[in-house]
A = this chain, B = another copy of it.
């Protein structure tokens, strides 16, 4: 199950191709070192792999033109959003053009009566929620970073609200796509459900830019609940915290958010976000509903927590307090990486059936305790999904290898429990061997789709699998 893998060959752009791009795209074309660097690096441990140039798309026609030019010239295109993915999903492994979508950032329509909206791919999740504030609706999917909606659709992102509101798989109603042939298609209408043919929407969601380029997204929204209550609760043991979540879920409590942070992660959060929570295994909760329903949920969860060694609930009921709490949670990755100065981060994520979660986290915790590299456990435990974030000293060459070994053990453990090698980060470069370990021959069906849609392998080549 080694993910060391395979580095595809760099493709060379034909002579004069760069000039033709510059001519067509004017100041939407960039090839300066700093811009290339920005588009070829990642927030994670991957080596920089730079594109040959960057194009800033401003309209669908730009995308069509670029696809046609690159297809003729056999030059890769790597769609690029906020650059916050963490499995090397947007690295330019074969060179080519990084297609920056962030200027396509219009909110095209908000259909409040239908609980949906239409956005361009460069819109960021926080700006969308800002825009929606007066509509009484919100968009729940929230990976830690302020990612673009296009990037979130591409990696099938989720976040803290997924336990109640689902992931990007559930949030995307329809996509407008530029295909590798330069055609524009729409994958579905705006109806809430459909049985009309193959589910192309779900096929493109999570395909990491390898099958088509997203130029518009229709998203499901949700009404802002009448009552929202957030709380933090510390536990004597990690087990007690995990058991609380499992029992609450199994009691049918419709938790809106439930996040675990181990003791070291809490220390990191306190330092990074200037807070003073107890540095013990902790759950962050959020309850949504009517006043009555929230009160009921809270009552059940408090009892469950008490039975598992949980302390007092520290409540955050004012919007500002809640924002501060969840901002701290969203920054947890950066907090963990910065446990050591100048460190580089490596975040991995697995997801297992909830009945195996306690065991999976306990064994992983033991593994981390045995290592000298600071590493935290945190995550969306209501889904059975958790992360390990390592803070790696780049001056110690063995550390990357040690993390790779711990990560491999973690993935093997999750697969043995009938879990997945990634709950929300995607395969990118880093988990290609794990994908095969997880799904075996089914990966060949994925390759068939890729070859059929993109026979010249123009779109984000070298990601998810080797062809």
Chain B residues near A285 (CB, 8 Å)?
none
Chain A 436-460: CB-based contact to B (< 8 A → 1; otherwise 0): 0011111111101101110000000
**Chain B residues whose C-beta falls within 8 Å of the C-beta of A452 in the assembled complex:** 448-449, 451-452
When distances are taken between beta carbons in the complex, the residues of chain B under 8 Å from A355 are 111, 113-114
Q: Which of these, B185, B422, B446, contacts A445 with CB under 8 Å?
A: B185
Q: Which residues of chain B have C-beta atoms less than 8 A from A371's C-beta?
A: none
Is A345 part of the contact surface with B, judged by Cβ < 8 Å? no
Within 8 A of B (CB), among A267-311: 289-290, 292-293, 296
* Nearest-neighbor residue (CB-CB) of A455 within chain B: B448
Which of chain B's residues have a CB closer than 8 A to the CB of A434? Answer: 196
CA–CA, A189 to B356, complex, Å? 13
Shortest distance between the CB of A142 and any CB in chain B (Å): 14
Interface size grouping (class) on chain A: 35 or more
Contacting B at CB under 8 A, from A302-358, are 351-355
Please tell me if A205 contacts chain B, counting CB pairs below 8 Å. yes
Q: Is the CB of B422 within 8 A of A196?
A: yes
B-contacting residues, A402-447, CB 8 Å:
414-415, 418-427, 431, 434-435, 438-446
Q: How far is the CA of A438 from the CA of B158 in the complex (A)?
A: 29
Neighbouring B residues of A435 by C-beta, 8 Å: 196-197
The reply on A103 being an interface residue by CB < 8 A is: no
Q: How distant is the Cα of A306 from the Cα of B199 in the complex, in angstroms? A: 39
Q: Knowing A179-B445, A445-B453, A452-B449 touch, does A111 contact B353 (C-beta < 8 A)? A: yes
A191 touches B418 (CB 8 A): yes
A173 to B441, CA, bound (A): 18
> Of A170, A246, A445, A452, which is in contact with the most chain B CB atoms at under 10 Å from its CB?
A445
7 smallest beta-carbon distances between A and B, as pairs: A202-B202, A223-B252, A194-B420, A113-B355, A452-B452, A185-B442, A191-B351
> How far apart sit A59 and B235, CA to CA, in the bound complex (Å)?
49
Q: Please name all residues of chain B whose beta carbon is closer than 8 Å to the beta carbon of A439 when the two chains form the complex.
A: 185-189, 196-197, 200
Which B residues are CB-close (under 8 A) to A290?
293, 296
* Chain A, 165-182, CB within 8 A of any chain B CB: 167, 169-170, 179
Residue of A205, A226, A252 contacting most chain B CB atoms (<10 Å): A252
- Taking CB atoms, residues of chain B closer than 8 Å to A179 are 445
Complex interface residues of chain A between 212 and 229 (CB less than 8 A to chain B): 223, 225-226
Cβ contacts under 8 Å, A167 to chain B? 193
Instruction: Report if A98 contacts B (CB, 8 A).
Output: no
Check if B190 sits within 8 Å of A353, measured CB to CB. yes
The answer, among B188, B198, B431, for a CB contact under 8 Å with A203, is B198
Cα of A449 to Cα of B204 in the assembled complex, Å: 13
Q: Determine the chain B residues whose CB is within 8 A of the CB of A225 once the complex forms.
A: 252
Asked if residues A449 and B446 are in contact (CB atoms below 8 Å), the reply is no
Known interface pairs A113-B354, A195-B426, A296-B292. Does A187 touch B442 (Cβ–Cβ under 8 Å)?
Answer: yes
Q: Is the CB of B427 within 8 A of A191?
A: no
Nearest chain B CB to A201 CB, angstrom units: 8
Q: Does A207 contact B (CB under 8 A)?
A: yes
Q: Which residues of B contact A187 (CB under 8 A)?
A: 439, 442
Contact B415 A189 (CB under 8 A): yes
Q: How far is the CB of A449 from chain B (nearest CB, A)?
A: 6
Among B113, B189, B226, B453, contact of A419 (Cβ-Cβ < 8 Å)? B189
Q: How far is the CB of A148 from chain B (nearest CB, A)?
A: 16
**Central interface residue in A191, A202, A419, by most chain B CB within 10 Å:** A191
A–B pairs, 6, beta carbons within 8 Å: A184-B441, A192-B353, A195-B206, A196-B420, A197-B465, A198-B445
Shortest Cβ distance from residue A212 to the other chain B in the assembled complex, whole angstroms: 8
- Quick check: is A155 within 8 A (CB to CB) of the other chain? yes
Tell me the complex Cα distance, A183–B448, Å: 14
Contact check, B114 vs A423: say whether CB atoms are below 8 A apart: no
A155 touches B195 (CB 8 A): yes
A170: chain B residues within 8 A (beta carbon): 170
Specify the chain B residue showing the minimal Cβ separation from A136. Answer: B252
Are A195 and B422 touching (Cβ within 8 A)? yes
A449 to B453, CA, bound (A): 8
Contact A162 to B193, CB < 8 A, known contacts A114-B355, A199-B205, A354-B113? yes
B250–A113 CB distance below 8 A: yes
